[in-house]
Amino acid sequence: FSPAEAASNRFAFEAIGTSVADDVVVPPGFKAEVLVRWGDPLWSDAQEFDHATRGTAASQERAFGDNTDGMDVFFHNGKTLLVVNNEYTNRDILWGNNPDAKPASDDDIAKGMMAHGVSVVEIANTDGKWHIVKDSPYNRRITPNTEMELTGPAAGHDLMKTAADPAGKKALGTWNNCGNGATPWGTYLACEENFNGYFSSSEDVQDDNPKSITPEMKRYGVSTKDWGYGWAKIDERFDVAKHANEPNRAGYVVEIDPSDPNSNPKKRTALGRFKHENAETVINNDGRVVIYMGDDERGEFLYRYVSNGVYAAGVDTDELMENGTLSVAKFNENGTGAWIPLTPETTGLGSQAEIQIHTRQAASAVGATTMDRPEWVAANPKEAEIYCCLTNNKNRGVKTNAGGDETPAMGPNPREKNNYGQIVRWRPDAGDHTTPGFTWDLYVLAGNPTVHSDAYAGSSNVNADNMFNSPDGLAFDANGLLWIQTDGSYKNEGDFAGQGNNQMLAGDPVTGEIRRFLVGPKECEVTGLCWSPDRRTMFVGIQHPGERGDSHWPEGGDAVPRSAIITVTRDDGGLLG
């Protein structure tokens, strides 16, 4: 299985069937093994995971976080460093009190907090198996309490100033980091997604029109109640009645330097504030840095950032990430589209800083196209072509974010009720990622041809053997194969009959053929994908197994289900992508 053979045969595996087993299934000739699980200590003086208590805030702060999501591998000084988002936590699993899911103590709340953020962990391959390197000087937990720099146009603006940070330039922590990105200069991009669900208000909680919740907060889903995490009880900055500007300091892309464990992560306001899914970075032909980003909410938008400066060895990369143009996508029915810059002139918002903070409102002002929940974006390494998962839109017209736009079925969002999702792709005019114009089509319209015969059967590259729903994670391998991960219904009945557990498939961008490669355990989502530097190991994230109480993966028996990263290798040691 040489690289030449790999290139001539993109699908170097046999497609597998669906599965409803509480296990990871891969094709014959491949092996899946657990690398690191929620609660595994990153230092040898930290406690092993305790299935009875599920740990404490103190043990969690020294352990791998919960709900693995976006991740990437970096090679530095001969060390392999894995950087992983820990998006959120299943509270009933974390606290062991299903279905109550209420914290019994302040330590419970703090434990939940410490399960969030980013884990940096050195990994090594010895005797043919990957493992984490405890006590590596690079190991690091970045949590909602880690000091970070606010950078770019919004840094220092009045809307960013708080009692604890009167200059508006230093924020504490990151949470709900969903997908990721990586830069060519060796940094990691963690994307803040559902940051709103952690804020609450100590005032007018019963009020239908609470005055502590501004229209600007409503557009981002901030309300008087949090989603059950309880953070305001132990840290007042999550109480918007007392600290109205705190939500303005979340919802960004955070740049992390894994080679320097003492560095402060940098929140990049130039990339806009929304529910960031991932940040796909491309170096344009002229050297400018281009970052494509989705805002994962029904009826929100797709964005593109273009740096002013060009990337070259030795340039100031802070400047590339602070000065540039943020644009939003408008799709036309005829297969064309355009990127519309978000500036004070185009949006009518008073300043560039306000645009970077109230990015959703700015995008609405220029008439951007509302989308069916943009999840991961991935760039084809073989040509100027970008793909984005539009995961689903179960209730078109019903918005979770007040003040958003109408969401008609149109263009790349063609179906009225959309519980299967689709993948849109676009090609920038003249292969130039900085031009306004592009052409688009749908790579796949997911569906179920065993249940439906209309548009809900899916596009012609969907059949009874490869069907899936709710594409979410998306990444190209170096060989030009598109890997698709799902976060959808695992009911395996009705509209979803025969689709089994969430899964990972591979698609040929040229022929459109799609084959199923991996199926996850019960009630999980498959999310996060990267490769070892030698491309012989694929790292895959298994998030929230047993989120409804029916999994004991990966340990089996009566064990607590634990989100984990697995390695996938070929038995013959060959390349995977």
Q: Which residues bind ligand FEO (CB under 6 A)?
A: 87, 178, 193, 277, 296, 375
| Residue whose beta carbon is closest to Ca ion | 487
**CB-based contact 464:564 (threshold 8 Å):** no
Q: CB-wise, 268 or 276, nearer to Ca ion?
A: 276
**CB-based contact 170:142 (threshold 8 Å):** no
CB 81, min distance to ligand FEO, A:
23
Give the one entry of Ca ion, ligand FEO, none that residue 385 binds, where binding means its C-beta sits below a cut-off of 5 to 8 angstroms depending on kind.
none
User: How long a stretch of residues is the chain?
Assistant: 577
Q: CB-wise, 192 or 525, nearer to Ca ion?
A: 525
**CB-based contact 530:576 (threshold 8 Å):** no
**Residue keyed to tokens 């800083």:** 353
Q: CB-wise, 108 or 296, nearer to ligand FEO?
A: 296
Q: CA–CA separation, 297 vs 300, rounded Å?
A: 5
CB 277, min distance to ligand FEO, A:
5
Q: CA–CA separation, 400 vs 124, rounded Å?
A: 43
Q: CB-wise, 190 or 568, nearer to ligand FEO?
A: 190
**CB-based contact 432:424 (threshold 8 Å):** no
Q: CB-wise, 354 or 375, nearer to ligand FEO?
A: 375
In the complex, the residues that contact Ca ion under the rule CB under 5 A are 375, 472, 487, 525
Tokens encoding 527: 């999310």
**CB-based contact 312:287 (threshold 8 Å):** yes
Give the one entry of ligand FEO, Ca ion, none that residue 149 binds, where binding means its C-beta sits below a cut-off of 5 to 8 angstroms depending on kind.
none
CB 376, min distance to Ca ion, A:
6
Give the one entry of ligand FEO, Ca ion, none that residue 523 binds, where binding means its C-beta sits below a cut-off of 5 to 8 angstroms depending on kind.
none
Q: CB-wise, 192 or 216, nearer to ligand FEO?
A: 192
CB 456, min distance to ligand FEO, A:
23
Give the one entry of Ca ion, ligand FEO, none that residue 193 binds, where binding means its C-beta sits below a cut-off of 5 to 8 angstroms depending on kind.
ligand FEO
Q: Is 528 exposed, middle or buried (0-12, 13-18, 19+ CB in 10 A)?
A: buried
Give the one entry of Ca ion, ligand FEO, none that residue 255 binds, where binding means its C-beta sits below a cut-off of 5 to 8 angstroms depending on kind.
none
**CB-based contact 336:440 (threshold 8 Å):** yes
Q: CA–CA separation, 105 vs 110, rounded Å?
A: 9
Q: CB-wise, 296 or 477, nearer to ligand FEO?
A: 296
**Residue keyed to tokens 């073989």:** 382
**CB-based contact 88:176 (threshold 8 Å):** yes
CB 351, min distance to ligand FEO, A:
29
Angle CA(143)–CA(148)–CA(149) in degrees, nearest 5?
A: 165
CB 528, min distance to ligand FEO, A:
10
Give the one entry of Ca ion, ligand FEO, none that residue 300 binds, where binding means its C-beta sits below a cut-off of 5 to 8 angstroms depending on kind.
none
CB 87, min distance to ligand FEO, A:
6
Q: CA–CA separation, 111 vs 350, rounded Å?
A: 41
